[in-house]
Chains A and B, each alone.
Chain A
Amino acid sequence: GENVEQHPSTLSVQEGDSAVIKCTYSDSASNYFPWYKQELGKGPQLIIDIRSNVGEKKDQRIAVTLNKTAKHFSLHITETQPEDSAVYFCAATDSWGKLQFGAGTQVVVTP
């Protein structure tokens, strides 16, 4: 089955700097890769997603890149702000179309 690995597990950045989170997946049939942000005490919320026919997607300060050959995808947050502090999860669909999640990255943005 699909296995998604996510690194790093914690990331501390200075406000205004960039943050990068990387994920790898194992199932070559995976074709949908969403990223979720989870604030304390709340459910995960989709922030951006990418499908396998696209290499990069950007939405304001957030961008995601996908390398299907290497089976890895990354989340980039530029000009980080304190409200970006949260846990971020990557995910990939398995052969049955179900999502497999990474273990999460705790991002802390310090003023």
Chain B
Amino acid sequence: KAGVTQTPRYLIKTRGQQVTLSCSPISGHRSVSWYQQTPGQGLQFLFEYFSETQRNKGNFPGRFSGRQFSNSRSEMNVSTLELGDSALYLCASSLGLSYYEQYFGPGTRLTVT
């Protein structure tokens, strides 16, 4: 089975722009979670989607949003980018919600200048 894929792998954006990141889960996995990793804050939970519905959300401003499609692929969007949004964004897929083992993608490294 192919693993979790994320596109793009690297991205450079300017403050004020918006960005969309994509995540394709392992075939058969219905849950996709998104995480932000920064040197200062470490790994933080962004949101979790299951069957096209957002099931859980972390403590991030409304500029961070996401969605999941009927084929379980997920996108996350960050609007009005700030310098502090520079981070590694990871997605993980699992068979079900929360309690199931998570399989991580390679991440998208976003740099905001």
- A and B form one complex: no
Interface residues of A (CB under 8 A from B): none
B contacts, CB < 8 Å to A: none
